[in-house]
Amino acid sequence: MHDLYIIKLGGSVITEKEGNRFEVKREAIARISAEVKKALDEKEFSLIVVHGAGPFGHTNVTEYGINDGVFDEKQKEGYEKTGKDCSFLDSVVVEELKKAGIEAVSFDPNGIVKQDERKIVEVETEGVEKALEEGKIPVLFGQMVPDKKLNFSVMSGDAVIGFLAKKLKAKKVFLGTDVAGIFEEDPKKNPDAKRIEVIDKGTFGEIVKRVGEAGTVDVTGGMKGKLEKMKAMLKGTTAVIFDANKEGNFYKALVGENVEGTEIRL
């Protein structure tokens, strides 16, 4: 197998997360899919695509009160709706990837991931590995998954990236979001905030204290949650966070060109 890269299409990029609307940004997905295809045509690498859920996950989970488990009837209804909505979003992502000529194959995390109190304890990766061997592009996404204590809980795309990166020895992780990396303060609240170029073992603790959660509805902790999930699992794999709304950034990242963003080396 070639070097393995994992990319994340942030919920803030592919949905109307900021306006908190259940809408898919199909054009953004199509543009990114074309960038990924161009990179795949020019360079040999294996690839896993992970995407966030935006309101399809976060807002449903908040509305139905299922962040602490699924027990009563209303929560069961919320679990089903969230699962269905996240799968719908995934179907659009996969459709656009395929339209761009990418052999995408979806793996619903609900069937292959197990959690224990919101933490991933197991991912059955046989199917994903087989798909990679066949030159296909596995697609996973933020989704509700079985949980040992909570019946079902939210699994964020960021967490499964960390797990897969470690287990499948990914070479690099590229996280596309709607800001140009990690800043000293939320750049949406303070446009003058300074971008942090590199986060490493030495600076991680201090930076994570300063970084905020997402300003949007986000049950998995926004940027802070993202960093914590990286820390837990991203040992040895470099991750780069950048603005995926900026045309060309995904292409550049994948072919190894410099992209303005934050590099995380833990």
Task: List residues near ligand ATP by CB under 6 A.
Answer: 10-13, 17, 52-54, 157, 177-179, 182-183, 185-188, 211-212, 214-216, 218, 220, 222-223, 226
- In the bound state with ligand ATP, the residue whose beta carbon lies nearer, of 161 and 170, is 161
- In the bound state with ligand ATP, the residue whose beta carbon lies nearer, of 47 and 223, is 223
| Residue 203 C-beta: closest distance to ligand ATP, Å | 13
Residue nearest to ligand ATP (CB): 52
The residue among 71, 17, 219, 52 whose CA lies nearest residue 79 is 71
Other C-beta atoms closer than 10 Å to the C-beta of 125 total 19
| Residue 117 C-beta: closest distance to ligand ATP, Å | 20
Q: Write out the DSSP string of 199-255.
A: EEHHHHHHHHHH----SS--TT-HHHHHHHHHHHH-TT-EEEEEETTSTTHHHHHHH
Q: Which amino acid is at 25?
A: K
- In the bound state with ligand ATP, the residue whose beta carbon lies nearer, of 148 and 189, is 189
157-167 and 222-233 helices, crossing angle to 10°: 20
Q: Write out the DSSP string of 5-24.
A: EEEEE-HHHHEETTTTEEEE
| Residue 134 C-beta: closest distance to ligand ATP, Å | 27
| Residue 130 C-beta: closest distance to ligand ATP, Å | 26
- In the bound state with ligand ATP, the residue whose beta carbon lies nearer, of 46 and 143, is 143
